[in-house]
């Protein structure tokens, strides 16, 4: 093998120079404003992460908005909501559009603010002053009124769950004009004003009747509106039968606590729904959500329920690409990866950590491509044997249980170079905050130098760097053989598959957003 030092000095002249520093002060590459906004929209949660607090992310979004045009902001909002199933970030971008002299606010609002929770989030952001004003303003007020006027009775009842602001607060704020007596009575009932009982919508009438007489049939209202009442196991079973797929996933422990699974046939019916491929696709279930649900109920819920969640996870990962040739997946298991993947949220911080998602991606690739080599790393590569025949959850748990040191992104590539390994695809799943290898950088990054050496005898190999948290920098520069993506949904697998088949370029994320219809 060529002398490492001599080769490094030679290729250093050919490699792009690092033009930024990461949060450890180590060499890195700065993403373009569009790429960074795309990455923030796909992965940003406006909550505190290991490296960035919520205000820092908010400031970054607002600063980036001054560097890109309104069309890209609007398309990013729509993409983040429709494809990424994000909540806070698209609402923020739409709120930002409302302050700009552009006609794109209305179409972006319609395609992004698609349920009551999104509506309340949008109003909350507007009132907070985050985008420069503490009132709605004429255009936003008109759009909120239109949403209320067009929403169905069921949508309004779902929107009535939640506070800060509540739907009642929103109604008081925008003063919608009811189109009929039923909507007029609903608004009055919602905000605590006198109303015409005879004109109340049927769903509200059924809810009020059930409050007076719990022996009646359980009304089809959000179950949160019923929990303050003395519900029986039969009531809870009816709630479970009518609940949507995501509601079932999120309330398995609640159902167990209230005796739902003790009722005849309920275990089988709920398990069947949880593992229904059509319902899983319709619910846009994220693999990490299923992994979290499985971990939470394992050992406490009935075994068919636990097995159904495991089956659901396998279904949600069905689009992991089968890659021809040698695949190497490098999950980051360093200390920073122990932070919650969606950031720290007061009272509702997710139990799923970045390392869990990295392990999930690695285990999923191993399941789809049994010859995949998994090289977990921190200060160095950690040896761990995984069995491709094991379930995704089993292998993910093994991976997530190791590590905890510093971050050295170049370590797996250096090991491959040392072995003179043959590879076709290398996938990193990390927060990209490499610093242990900073001394080896010599103008570029240590990862780019190691990748160049590996490429010298793997001409067609490709590198994918998945960033699980919103960062301004990366360790590998975008080019035809290198793809930087952000996010942790199954859309990442589709992106990698398209990249390997030559159907996408290195700036795939940005191109996807630019192709979004308004």
**What SS3 class is residue 76?**
helix
CA distances to 39, 110, 173 from 31, in Å:
9, 30, 40
Classify residue 2 by its DSSP letter.
-
CA dihedral (254, 257, 261, 263) positive or negative = negative
CA-based nearest residue to 274, from 317, 238, 218, 315:
315
Give the containing element (helix H, strand E) for 301.
none
- For the chain, give every domain's residue range: 4-30+322-514, 69-221, 228-316
**pLDDT score for 295:** 82
The 10 Å CB-count burial string (b at 16+, else e) for 254-287 is ebbebebbeeeebbeebbebbbbeebbeebbbbb
264 prior amide bond cis, ω within 30: no
Element (H, E) at 464: strand 462-467
For residue 206, the model assigns a pLDDT of 95
CA 483 to chain centre: 19
Quickly name the fold that domain 4-30+322-514 has.
Rossmann fold (3.40.50)
| 116 CB-side CA count, 13 A | 24
What gap in Å lies between CA 318 and CA 329, rounded to an integer? Answer: 18
Which tokens sit at 135?
A: 């009132």
pLDDT digit string, tens, across residues 432-485: 889 999 877 678 999 999 999 999 999 999 999 988 876 778 899 988 899 888
Q: Is 36 helix (H, G, I), strand (E, B) or coil?
A: helix
pLDDT at 54: 62
Q: Are the C-beta atoms of residues 353 and 57 closer than 8 Å to each other?
A: no
Tokens read off for 435: 């610093």
> Which pLDDT score, from 0 to 100, does residue 285 have?
81
Bridge-partner residues for 27, per DSSP? 21
Task: Check residue 490 and give its pLDDT.
Answer: 61
Quick one: how far is CA 452 from the chain centroid? 32
CB 504, CB 491: distance < 8 Å: no
Looking at residue 51, what is its pLDDT?
45
Q: What residues form DSSP beta bridges with 330? A: 428
CB neighbours (10 Å) of residue 71? Answer: 14
Residue stretches of the chain with pLDDT short of 70: 1-14, 42-54, 342-351, 441, 470, 487-491, 504-509
Q: What ranges make up the beta strands (E) of 195-354? A: 327-331
Beta bridge partners of 374: 329
The CA angle 115-470-448, to the nearest 5 degrees, is 145
Q: Report the alpha-carbon distance of residue 84 to residue 90 in Å, rounded.
A: 10
Sheet holding 462-467, edge to edge: 373-374, 327-331, 425-430, 462-467, 482-486
Q: For residues 146 and 107, is the Cβ–Cβ distance under 8 A?
A: no
| Spatial separation of the C-alpha atoms in residues 317 and 361, rounded to whole Å | 9
**Model pLDDT, residue 59:** 80
Give the Cα separation of 478 and 65 in Å (integer).
22
Contact 363, 396 (CB under 8 A): yes
**pLDDT of 180-234, one tens digit each?**
999 999 999 999 999 999 999 999 999 999 999 999 999 999 989 998 888 999 9
Nearest-angstrom CA–CA distance, 146 and 365: 45
User: Angle at CA 428, nearest 5°, toward 425 and 434?
Assistant: 140
For residues 273 and 245, the answer to whether their CB atoms sit within 8 Å is: yes
Tell me the longest C-alpha to C-alpha distance in the chain. 87
């Amino acid at each position: 093998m060529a002398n490492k030092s001599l080769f490094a000095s030679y290729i250093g002249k050919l490699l792009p120079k690092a033009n930024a520093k990461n949060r450890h002060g180590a060499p890195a590459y700065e993403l373009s404003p569009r790429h960074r906004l795309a990455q923030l929209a796909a992965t940003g949660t406006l909550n505190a992460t290991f490296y960035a607090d919520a205000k820092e992310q908010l400031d970054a979004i607002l600063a980036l908005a001054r560097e890109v045009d309104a069309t890209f902001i609007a398309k990013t909002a729509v993409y983040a909501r429709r494809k990424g199933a994000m909540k806070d970030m698209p609402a923020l971008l739409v709120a930002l559009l409302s302050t700009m002299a552009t006609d794109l606010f209305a179409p972006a609002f319609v395609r992004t603010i698609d349920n009551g929770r999104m509506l309340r989030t949008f109003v909350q952001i507007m009132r907070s002053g985050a985008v420069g004003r503490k009132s709605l303003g004429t255009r936003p007020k008109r759009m909120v009124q239109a949403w209320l006027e067009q929403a169905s009775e069921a949508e309004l009842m779902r929107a009535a769950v939640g506070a800060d602001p509540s739907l009642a607060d929103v109604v008081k704020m925008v003063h919608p004009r009811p189109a009929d007596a039923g909507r007029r009575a609903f608004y009055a009932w919602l905000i605590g004003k006198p109303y015409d009982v005879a004109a109340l919508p049927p769903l509200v009438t059924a809810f009020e009747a059930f409050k007076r007489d719990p022996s009646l049939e359980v009304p089809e209202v959000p179950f949160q509106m019923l929990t303050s009442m003395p519900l029986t196991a039969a009531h809870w079973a009816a709630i479970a039968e009518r609940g949507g797929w995501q509601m079932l996933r999120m309330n398995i422990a609640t159902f167990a606590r209230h005796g739902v699974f003790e009722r005849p046939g309920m275990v089988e019916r709920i398990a069947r729904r949880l593992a229904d491929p059509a319902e899983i696709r319709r619910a846009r279930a994220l693999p990490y959500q299923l992994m979290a649900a499985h971990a939470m109920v394992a050992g406490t819920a009935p075994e068919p329920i636990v097995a159904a969640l495991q089956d659901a996870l396998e279904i949600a990962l069905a689009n992991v690409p089968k890659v021809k040739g040698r695949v190497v997946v490098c999950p980051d298991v360093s200390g920073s990866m122990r932070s919650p993947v969606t950031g720290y949220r007061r009272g509702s911080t997710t139990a799923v950590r970045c390392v869990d998602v990295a392990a999930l991606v690695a285990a999923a690739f191993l399941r789809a491509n049994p010859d995949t080599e998994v090289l977990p790393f921190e200060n160095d590569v950690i040896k761990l044997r995984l069995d491709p025949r094991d379930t995704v959850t089993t292998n993910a748990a093994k991976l997530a249980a190791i590590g905890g040191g510093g971050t050295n992104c170049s370590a797996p590539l250096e090991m491959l170079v040392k072995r003179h390994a043959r590879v076709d695809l290398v996938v990193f799943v990390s927060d990209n905050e490499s610093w242990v290898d900073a001394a080896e950088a010599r103008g570029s990054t240590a990862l780019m130098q190691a990748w160049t050496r590996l490429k010298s005898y793997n001409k067609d190999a490709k590198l994918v760097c998945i960033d699980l948290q919103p960062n301004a920098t990366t360790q590998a520069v975008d080019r035809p053989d290198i793809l930087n993506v952000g996010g942790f949904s199954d859309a990442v697998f589709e992106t990698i598959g398209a990249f390997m088949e030559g159907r996408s370029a290195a700036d795939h994320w940005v191109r996807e957003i630019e192709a979004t219809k308004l």
